[in-house]
Amino acid sequence: MKKSRFTRILPLIFAAALLLAGPMPSRAEDKKPAPAAAEAKKPNPDRVVAKVNGSPITEGRYMRALAMVGQQLAQSGRRIPQEALPQLQRQVLENLVKTELLYLEAKKAGMKVSAEEVEKATVEMRSKFSSPEQFDEWLKRGDLTMEQLKVEETKSLEVRKFIDENFTPKATVTEDDVKKYYKDHPDEFKKPERVHARHILVTVDEKASDLDKAKARKKIDELAARLKKGDDFATVAREGSDCPSKARGGDLGYFERGRMVEPFEKAAFALKTDETSAVVETQFGYHIIQVLDKTPEETVPLDQVKEPLMGRMKSEKVNELVSKFVDDALAKANVEYTKE
């Protein structure tokens, strides 16, 4: 049966809800608004959007979860189509409801965590930011105080403790299970053919005049002549390339098929190790490519993936057990949605 386009990200949404929608990454390039968050209006953080057995879920909490999911999708290279946004928003809210229900069940079971555990978790969260100022900005964007953060951390830790004590011990995975999965899913453990290449680029716009194209071609030909005379490739790249990779001597690292524009990829994968190409033209301009290493397609041996695979399979079993428990509890719960 064909699955919904977002089925595969449900564990991500559930994790985001459990972890308070977590902190934003600290890298500068990740400071752009998450796709899902960018589509939403500024929330009223105190407005109640749902109730679970009388326990409220606020719009502030909902928006933090939505922003976290959107950002994690963006970081994995997936964008949220406009027409799919309502479905994603609905799934995020539904999973917050499930998480709140799980928390209520944890409280009913008597789960408690110490102030020291909460403080440790808070310190770990702060450490994920590049500076105290960035952490404070995250709190401000989420309309959170430190006191509110610690309350949410307490809830998250109590839920985790409830899961660890009641479901994790029941999620058993044997070595035979791992071997069977490895055998039944060979494509998951294949590493594609890759090349390690460096290049020299002279940029010229596709719509440039014939004169500008001729100037660019003359420059790349002069750089090619230097290489033929025996000049060091990295030195020529640093001195003559227009690509930011010139700071690394033109080094692009390893890449597989589908990562580069077609003319560049075709030329790179056709070269032998230590071989240098003739001038290659792409939409970016003129390139000279040198391949430093090539690795063929290979299957990662079982002993290299056995431990992480066993951990992943165990986590999936825990998720299945928790999901069934929550679904059963949800059938008996009183849930009210108030979000318009």
Range of the domain at 20: 7-175+305-337
Q: If you average pLDDT over residues 145-157, what whole number do you get?
A: 90
Residue 187, in any domain of the structure? no
Q: Is 324 exposed, middle or buried (0-12, 13-18, 19+ CB in 10 A)?
A: exposed
Residue 34, in any domain of the structure? yes
More confident residue, 81 or 24: 81
Residue 2, in any domain of the structure? no
More confident residue, 124 or 46: 124
- At residue 38 the predicted structure's pLDDT band, cuts being 50, 70 and 90, is very low
Q: If you average pLDDT over residues 14-20, what whole number do you get?
A: 42
**95 plus 57 within the same structural domain:** yes
Q: If you average pLDDT over residues 38-44, what whole number do you get?
A: 56
- At residue 76 the predicted structure's pLDDT band, cuts being 50, 70 and 90, is low
User: In this model, does residue 17 exceed pLDDT 90?
Assistant: no
**261 plus 312 within the same structural domain:** no
Stated pTM of the model: 0.63
120, 130 in Cβ contact below 8 A?
Answer: no
Residue 184, in any domain of the structure? no
**88 plus 169 within the same structural domain:** yes
The shares of helix, strand and coil residues in the chain, as percent rounded to the nearest 5, are 60, 15, 30
* Structural domains counted in the chain: 2
- At residue 54 the predicted structure's pLDDT band, cuts being 50, 70 and 90, is very high
Sequence letter at residue 326:
V
pLDDT of residue 41: 55
Q: If you average pLDDT over residues 236-246, what whole number do you get?
A: 96
**235 plus 327 within the same structural domain:** no
**232 plus 315 within the same structural domain:** no
* Nearest alpha-carbon partner for 194 in 275, 276, 259: 259
**98 plus 70 within the same structural domain:** yes
**140 plus 164 within the same structural domain:** yes
**55 plus 101 within the same structural domain:** yes
**132 plus 21 within the same structural domain:** yes
Residue 325, in any domain of the structure? yes
pLDDT of residue 181: 96
**139 plus 276 within the same structural domain:** no
H/E element holding 131? none
pLDDT of residue 83: 86
**168 plus 310 within the same structural domain:** yes
- CATH code of the domain in which 327 resides: 1.10.4030.10
Residue 75, in any domain of the structure? yes
- At residue 223 the predicted structure's pLDDT band, cuts being 50, 70 and 90, is very high
* Nearest alpha-carbon partner for 135 in 6, 283, 292, 25: 25
Residue 185, in any domain of the structure? no
- At residue 77 the predicted structure's pLDDT band, cuts being 50, 70 and 90, is low
User: In this model, does residue 115 exceed pLDDT 80?
Assistant: yes
- CATH code of the domain in which 251 resides: 3.10.50.40
User: In this model, does residue 10 exceed pLDDT 90?
Assistant: no
Residue 59, in any domain of the structure? yes
pLDDT of residue 338: 83
**143 plus 210 within the same structural domain:** no
Strand 194-203 versus strand 251-256 pairing type: antiparallel
Q: Which two tokens stand for residue 212?
A: 């500008």
